[in-house]
Structure 1
């Protein structure tokens, strides 16, 4: 059987093509090149990397390299360095430049804010080409594992367990030392010395944790200091970062992101404030899951003039009545009288005093009718004071959100399909389920910023952004073409008339 014949590796060949001819016109690498060349990188915050010695690399080239890498699932600076030497698309994109991995890694680490501004440029492009509806948005978060193992994350309880274990082992070493002799003593002394060094380390971490009063449950991560041990789903936990995102419903484009190490409780207000500034309007509905159900955040949304639809969480076990028909939501509130009416028709009033919880103020409502009420055992399990309702300063905003969710169930059902689209692409298809950088939140923000930038560019290319971008240019070009064709037609017509009137024009003169 005959096979296709290979060309000899030692045969000299004369190529009649250039590098540009090897890259197809529809190749995405050309879109990356045009996109970055259209940015004013200096105004976006990319500073010069100039220093003593050889000239620095142009920030535009390093940005192109990173965008290409993230679009092709390559985030490692060492892998990008390798690709510059063997990938013909990168050779074309960078003009055969081959930066080393340290230069590549420093560019990402040093420019988190500028990278976010480049991401904002993709949002501006989408707005300019009417790819963002600004009518319905959805927000959610996802957990991304940090470069910090669970063993290198500590809280007070964990440190106490380690110290207890070490103290127990030190006691055993002391007893063994009393019985040992000769070479055995020296070995036990060395083990005890190592335990003492471990103990000093944990005591130092314990002091740092006790000195941290910024949170109720302080943590220390030794490899990546800003990462935190959080619940990922169910009972599964990881040391990770939280990526808060906002998605526009029109084409599922990301319009905002923020890397944090906190849960969702206090995130919605800031996300909405930024969304309003980015979209330039507050005439949109915002969808969130029940993790964002916080009274102070509803007030902030109301102050911004934005209607939210946040899933209403179930009532906690401690707040449940023996009979669910007598739960607090079945008591009618009268804002004029500032009182409640229970299902039995009794009025619950307040003494007018505000009480303070940790993050909010509230009033208490009760009635003396509880003492002799025939259904008291169904309404409350309290033995002395009867039923007591609490109404916080944010309850009115919470109730209005609940009414919107009830009135528009079809709109809220769209939430998961909107917010999970970017996460499915980023984490499932691309495999970006962790933060690749270390040493703090700014570096993590730069990493996720490039992920979000790559996602938006991918969506824009799928939506025919360049065709829309060049829409006006072809129209103008078509008009000029028609004008030129008309001129050519007139010129040919005039020449044709001249030839017809002078037949000898086409043949040589004869004697």
Structure 2
């Protein structure tokens, strides 16, 4: 039976293949190369100037190319990227045979979170150029990304107290055993010492918790927090907020936090307004963002929002007497119940945890026949009206009037998460310690996602042609700047040789050209 045979490894070729010929002209790696070359890295915040002493540094463009290639090909580990530099033909071409070690690769991601976000924003600009951003409907949501910190190494006061009680009980047992034991006591004393050391460790964690002013502390990754991921499942994680445009499911913004969604909407809307340079768009969010103060922020920004309405736990025995069926009179500042009774307030604002409210009651509740169906409270029905209730009611009317539009939310915002977390496997943060590094990791994932989407929509060749045009303009601008600096350098040299030339250069501007010609430059 015949088989396809490979080439003899010892065969010498007459015409050796160059590194350029080793990578096909249509290879995607060429697109990554020209994309990074088209970026103004210094303006983005990458450090491009280094001191001459010591071993020369790697140019940030080379490390950025390596990371973008890695994330596009589901490789995030700095050690794995180091291996790719030695064995992957595409990476060898991309980095021109450079072989940075894993520490250099890791430090680049660690040190440039803001610059990496600017690279992501450049992908949004490219999407805008090709009219891939609609700018009329966006959806916002968050996804939990597991941190490099186990639940075991996350503590709150309740957990610390539980451990301390356990240690104190064990110490009492050992002390009792020590008093009753007439033989070898060394083993018991060792256990006592061990438990006391554990107690000291928990006291140190408790001090750290109190000093931080937070409700919990993580010992492996200090900025990570114990968060609910879905239903009642929890993880020590980061919470990545995103804003996604509906036209092609392209993210236009991201922000990694360690808090829940309740106070996130206002900030993300403010950023979206800046990115889109308009506020005439509608934003869709799920019920986790249903917060009165955030509705007020959206109103002040002039942005229409639609947030899912959470279910109310405290309903009346008969749904006819639920609060939404009580009519509010804004002019007279009172409610009218389904029985036609007026509920009034003393006008005093009461303070809840995060908002103020007024309390509305009526004495008619005591003699009302419908009281058993309306309220289980002995004193009758009482309504608490938040200071943000007007904005909450406005959102409810928007939802009821545009139910079909709101149903688009999930299919818009979940598309990037499905690709990044399920298809690429980026469901955890690979970096350790501090939220800035977590944001750099997620930023590369979002940049890779946007590039992949743009390539899939408009095609590799069209995007590469556009980037090559930017690169050629950038090169011509750089050449002109270099020529100008050379001219200035020559002028300085002439001035040092002949100080009289300086007087000619300092003459009024109308005679500058004559003076410039006289010195023969």
So what's the TM-score if we normalise by structure 1? 0.89
CA distance in 2, matches of 1:208, 1:468: 51
Cα deviation for residue 364 of structure 1 reads: 1.3
**Which residue matches 2:357?**
362
d(CA) in 2 for partners of 1:211, 1:102: 33
C-alpha RMSD over aligned residues: 1.7
Post-superposition CA distance 1:18-68 (Å, at most 9, x none): 222232232211111111000000000001373531111010000000000
- Rounded to whole Å, the distance in 1 between the matches of 2:449 and 2:99 is 25
Classify 1:81/1:367 alpha carbon distance in 2 versus 1 (closer, same or farther; 3 Å).
same
1:463 deviates by: 1.3
Q: Is the 8 A contact 1:355 1:362 kept in 2?
A: yes
Give the aligned partner of residue 32 of structure 1.
32
Partner Cα distance (2:455, 2:208) in 1? 49
Contact (CA 8 Å) 1:49, 1:56: kept in 2 or not?
no
Q: State the shift of 1:209 in Å.
A: 2.2
What residue in structure 1 maps to residue 506 of structure 2? Answer: none
Q: Give the Å deviation of 1:140.
A: 0.3
Query: How do residues 80-479 of structure 1 correspond to structure 2 at under 5 angstroms?
Result: 80-182=81-183, 184-213=184-213, 215=214, 218-316=215-313, 319-384=314-379, 386-464=380-458, 467=462, 470=465
User: Kindly tell me: are residues 469 and 278 of structure 1, through their superposed partners in 2, closer, same or farther at Cα, counting changes over 3 Å?
Assistant: farther
Cα distance in 2 between the residues matched to 1:253 and 1:400: 28
> How far did residue 16 of structure 1 move?
4.3
Partner in structure 2 of residue 493 of structure 1: none
Distance 1:49 1:378 in 2: 75
Structure 1 position 181, deviation (Å): 4.5
Greater CA drift, 34-43 or 16-25: 16-25
TM, length-normalised to structure 2: 0.87
The answer on whether the counterparts of 1:244 and 1:259 sit within 8 Å (CA) in structure 2 is: yes
For the residues of structure 1 that align with 2:157 and 2:389, how far apart are their CA atoms? 35
Report the Cα offset of residue 370 of structure 1: 1.2
Q: Decide which moves more: 137-146 or 343-352.
A: 343-352
Pick which of 444-453 and 24-33 moved more.
24-33
SS where residue 244 of structure 1 aligns? strand
Larger mean Cα displacement after TM superposition, 250-259 or 363-372: 363-372
Report what 1:50 is aligned to.
50
Using the alignment, how far apart are the partners of 1:449 and 1:54 within structure 2? 29
Moved more, 410-419 or 464-473: 464-473
Contact 1:146 1:435 in 2 (8 A): yes
1:73 and 1:424 map into 2 onto residues whose CA distance is 14
Q: Deviations over 1:222-265 (max 9, x none)?
A: 00000001111112111000000000001000100000000000
Q: Residues of 1 paired with 2:342 and 2:467: CA distance?
A: 68
Per-residue CA deviation, residues 76-106 of structure 1 (Å, 9 max, x unaligned), is 0000000000000001111000000000000
2:10 paired with 1:13: no
Q: Is the 8 A contact 2:31 2:464 kept in 1?
A: no
Instruction: Single out whichever of 57-66 and 329-338 deviates more from structure 2.
Output: 329-338
How far has the Cα of 1:470 moved from its partner?
A: 4.1
- Unaligned runs of 5+ residues in structure 1 are 475-511
Tell me, which stretches of 5 or more residues in structure 2 are unaligned? 470-521
Q: Could you list the per-position Cα deviations for residues 323-344 of structure 1 after superposition, in whole angstroms to 9, with x for gaps in the alignment?
A: 1110100001111211111111
The alignment partner of 1:381 has SS state of: coil
Other-structure match for 2:473: none
Question: Judging changes above 3 Å, is the alpha-carbon distance between structure 1 residues 100 and 233 closer, same or farther for their aligned structure 2 residues?
Answer: same
Residues in 2 aligned to 1:220 and 1:16: alpha-carbon distance in whole angstroms: 59
CA distance in structure 2 between the aligned counterparts of 1:70 and 1:141, rounded to whole angstroms? 20
Distance 1:395 1:208 in 2: 39
